[in-house]
A and B are shown apart, each in its own frame.
Chain A
Amino acid sequence: MTTGTRPAAVALLARAVRSALGETIATVDGMGGDELHAVAHPRANTPGWIAWHVFRTADVIGSRVGDAPELWAMRGYAAAWGLPREGNGSGQPTADAQALRLPSAEALALYGRELRDELSETVGALDGRGLDRRVSAFSGRDFSAADALHIFVVLHTVRHQGELNLTRTLLELGTPGGGA
């Protein structure tokens, strides 16, 4: 990549991070407690769990890319919500994921907004060395910061957004239906 196009790609990545997380925030913000914790079918994750898992995953990767503490611990969310400081829910048994309780959609959306704002700023400030730097992700694997952000923040969030949209539909919460 030339020096002229790398900033364009960084700007696209920062925008993608902001946009992907923003959609998840908007999808859960304003939900009632029953809706946030609703189980659409026996193998489904709740809307609250999906959004929490997306935010936690992005927070973990963001902290490693930015070499800074996770917001989850730093802002006291883990303690305030009575949830573990570590972990993002990956591999959690369905029953445990369905049992996760969050204080409210507003609190979850606030965590998401703080994360989105900090992370998109961090990504937008990355230079070539920052993008190529190796960071550890999950399961002991390491990636370039750029790939980690694409895989575990943008694509991971967007894919769960698809799950979240359909879960809202199954719960009759008003997700647009029809064609695709």
Chain B
Amino acid sequence: MPDTGPYTMQRFAVHFAGRVMDELIASVADLSDEELHALPAGAPNTIGFIAWHVLRSADNVVLFAFARERTVWMRQGLHEAWGLPRIEQGTGMEQAAAAAVRFPGATALADYGRAVRDEILPRIEAMSDEYLVGVARVVPWGEVPRLEAIGQTIIVHGSQHLGEIAVVRRLLGRDAPSF
């Protein structure tokens, strides 16, 4: 979707959700296994866990909460292949348990991110105004307008976690995007 043109809810949501998804994918794609799972002194979560948590949240909201369809996560059987929860996406997970989560590698995690991005962005673009301002039940907030759920779960929540990832990347001696 072009960056210019009338300010529509669809353009806003696709542009910014896409931007967050792209940056999440880029923030893990160049990492080694060690860096993906690294926990520098003081950092509460690994980059892999943070990225997975945001990607799973986006997958859950657009596929399951909005459409009551199986998530990309479940369709690809990643919960079994990776030995991770089928439903939960990391919210409220104990720090030690979060730090212990292992992924098959940055490439696999980035591939999951691309699959989620490629699944949800066309769906959002095709949503009508009425659908976006209509409400969906999203755990843990309850009934919220779909646009707000996209804004909160993917755009705002994702952006905040990108800020954390930037700090951990710097702690690992990696370049971090300038905001």
On A, residues with C-beta under 8 Å from B are: 1-2, 4-6, 8-9, 12, 16, 20, 40-41, 43-44, 90-91, 128, 131-132, 144, 146-147, 150, 154-156, 158-167, 169-170, 172, 177-180
Contacts and interface: CB of A to CB of B under 8 A. Distances in A.
Given A1-B129, A41-B170, A179-B93, A169 B43 contact: yes
Contacts of B161: 162, 180
Contacts of A164: 163
Nearest to A162: B163
Contacts of A147: 3, 7, 15
A166 B162 CA distance: 11
Q: Which of A132, A144, A179 has the most CB of B within 10 A?
A: A179
27 contacts: A2-B129, A4-B129, A6-B7, A9-B7, A9-B9, A40-B42, A90-B178, A128-B7, A132-B7, A144-B7, A150-B12, A158-B156, A158-B160, A162-B160, A162-B162, A162-B163, A163-B164, A165-B163, A165-B164, A166-B163, A169-B43, A178-B95, A179-B45, A179-B91, A179-B97, A180-B53, A180-B91
Given A44-B167, A163-B166, A166-B43, A179 B90 contact: yes
B1 to A, nearest CB: 12
Interface of B: 3-4, 6-9, 12, 15-16, 19, 42-45, 49-50, 53-54, 90-95, 97-98, 129, 132-133, 145, 147-148, 151, 155-156, 159-168, 170-171, 178-179
Q: Which of A1, A156, A180 has the most CB of B within 10 A?
A: A180
A43 B162 CA distance: 17
A148 B173 CA distance: 31
Contacts, number: 128
B167 A167 contact: yes
B155 A155 contact: yes
A180 B98 contact: yes
A29 B10 CA distance: 36
Q: Which of A6, A147, A158, A165 has the most CB of B within 10 A?
A: A158
Contacts of A91: 178
B163 A158 contact: yes
B45 to A, nearest CB: 6
A167 B93 CA distance: 21
Contact of A159 (B133, B147, B159): B159
Contacts of B49: 180
B126 to A, nearest CB: 15
Contacts of B91: 179-180
Contacts of A172: 42
